[in-house]
């Protein structure tokens, strides 16, 4: 059997990120063949990935990649914020975003087979990252805009990502709108995008809140009062109706129209949204253990 040297172990660790003992075992199992040992570790990592797959991964980061009017956001999740801040995790997330941009993948299943710059597929690199970082890691969502219009991609703190498509205007305005969407999270773009069911429900609620004195007013006055209340609510839930965060003296609509532009649409991703996080009660665990 070939000799397993310290330099071989070191090189395998640097290549795979696996622990020293795992690297020694991999080399021993593969007659000190570096390539075979790396593949052995990868297969081992895939097994570990399956074992960790049922663990909640609600932390992580949003990574972005852009080339002109084509931009992508990817949400990559980890179990803890500690790992989400690890350089290896950040590098993996950024590599996945670049792979999504280069491959044109618009969904996670397609993205899994996309190649990274290293030659690995996204899924292979994910399994290797699980071995290296010791947590369940998932590529959860992809958002894409590919347009000849102005496209802005903005990520705030690695946790909130926004894509905006702006017809007309310029790159600076598109970025400003993206920052607004990140900060204010408007559910809809324009008043015409607000569902009729939502408006009807809000009218019902506002009518129920009115006093008998208000309800006794002439129909045309009551209608004006109701229209004003609903307009205010619609403004609160639409991008165009909200005060612009970069200039609160005007609405987003006013800022956009002043530039002769129009917001075609936007996408917003927030790390972990919709995932039910597990809250560990360590005190209860200890108390239960003491009773055994």
Estimate the crossing angle of helix 219-236 against helix 196-209, to 10 degrees. 120
pLDDT of residue 280: 52
Same domain, 156 and 63: yes
The backbone torsions φ and ψ at residue 266, rounded to the nearest 5 degrees and listed phi first, read -150, 160
Helical spans, DSSP H, in the chain: 6-16, 20-29, 34-52, 81-84, 87-103, 108-112, 122-133, 171-184, 196-209, 212-215, 219-236, 252-258, 282-291
Residue 275 belongs to a domain: no
262-285 pLDDT, tens digit per residue, is 999 999 999 999 887 765 554 554
Confidence band (pLDDT; 50, 70, 90) for 82?
Answer: very high
Same domain, 87 and 20: no
Answer with the one of 158, 185, 212 that is the final residue of a domain: 185
pLDDT of residue 161: 98
Residue 16 belongs to a domain: yes
Instruction: Give the range of the structural domain holding residue 223, as residue numbers without chain letter.
Output: 191-257
As a whole number of angstroms, the longest Cα–Cα distance in the chain is 98
CATH value at residue 24: 1.10.8.10
Domain count, the chain: 3
* 4 has pLDDT over 70: yes
Same domain, 37 and 64: no
Q: Single out the residue of 89, 268, 253, 111 nearest to residue 169, CA to CA.
A: 253
Top-confidence residue, 291 or 185: 185
Range with lowest mean pLDDT among 17-21, 89-93, 178-182: 17-21
Residue 217 belongs to a domain: yes
Top-confidence residue, 152 or 58: 152
* 201 has pLDDT over 50: yes
Same domain, 45 and 139: no
Nearby residues of 66 by Cβ (< 8 Å), 6 or more positions away: 72, 101, 151, 153
Same domain, 143 and 127: yes
Residue 219 CA to residue 249 CA, distance in Å, equals: 34
Top-confidence residue, 44 or 76: 76
* 80 has pLDDT over 80: yes
Same domain, 139 and 253: no
Residue 287 belongs to a domain: no
Same domain, 196 and 234: yes
Q: Are 174 and 150 a contacting pair, CB within 8 Å? A: yes
**Cα angle 93, 98, 101; round to 5:** 130
**SS3 of residue 251 by DSSP:** strand
Same domain, 102 and 215: no
Residue 281 belongs to a domain: no
Same domain, 137 and 25: no
Instruction: Report CA Rg, the chain.
Output: 26
* 149 has pLDDT over 60: yes
pLDDT of residue 259: 97
Query: How much is the mean pLDDT over the chain?
Result: 88
Same domain, 140 and 84: yes
Residue 1 belongs to a domain: no
Residue 204 belongs to a domain: yes
Top-confidence residue, 22 or 107: 107
Answer with the one of 185, 215, 244 that is the final residue of a domain: 185
CATH value at residue 145: 3.30.479.20
**SS3 of residue 279 by DSSP:** coil
Instruction: Look up the pTM and report it.
Output: 0.78
Same domain, 180 and 63: yes
30-43 pLDDT, tens digit per residue, is 998 888 888 888 77
Residue 173 belongs to a domain: yes
Range with lowest mean pLDDT among 67-81, 121-135, 188-202: 121-135
Same domain, 116 and 12: no
104-146 pLDDT, tens digit per residue, is 999 999 999 999 999 999 999 998 888 888 888 999 999 999 9
* 206 has pLDDT over 50: yes
């Amino acid at each position: 059997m070939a000799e397993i040297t310290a330099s071989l172990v070191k090189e395998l660790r640097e290549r795979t990120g696996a622990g020293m003992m795992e690297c020694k075992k991999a080399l021993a199992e593969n007659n000190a063949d570096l390539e075979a040992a790396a593949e052995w570790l990868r297969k081992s990592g895939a097994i570990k990935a399956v074992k960790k797959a049922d663990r909640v991964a609600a932390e992580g980061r949003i990574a972005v990649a852009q080339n002109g009017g084509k931009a992508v956001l990817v949400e990559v999740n980890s179990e803890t914020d500690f790992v989400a801040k690890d350089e290896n995790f950040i590098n993996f997330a950024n590599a996945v975003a670049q792979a999504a941009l280069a491959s044109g993948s618009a969904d996670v299943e397609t993205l899994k087979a996309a190649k990274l710059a290293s030659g690995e597929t996204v899924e292979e690199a994910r399994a290797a990252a699980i071995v290296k970082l010791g947590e369940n890691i998932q590529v959860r969502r992809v958002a894409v805009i590919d347009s000849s219009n102005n496209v802005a991609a903005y990520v705030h703190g690695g946790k909130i990502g926004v894509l905006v498509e702006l017809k007309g205007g310029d790159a600076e305005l598109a970025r400003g709108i993206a920052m607004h969407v990140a900060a204010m999270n408007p559910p809809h773009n324009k008043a015409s995008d607000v569902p009729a069911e939502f408006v009807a429900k809000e009218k019902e609620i506002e009518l129920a809140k009115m006093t008998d004195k208000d309800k006794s007013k002439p129909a045309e006055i009551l209608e004006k009062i109701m229209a004003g209340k609903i307009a205010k609510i619609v403004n609160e839930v639409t991008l165009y109706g909200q005060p612009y965060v970069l200039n609160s003296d005007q609405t987003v609509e006013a800022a956009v129209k002043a530039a002769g532009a129009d917001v075609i649409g936007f996408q917003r991703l927030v790390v972990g949204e919709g995932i039910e996080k597990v809250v560990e009660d360590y005190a209860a665990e200890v108390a239960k253990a003491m009773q055994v």
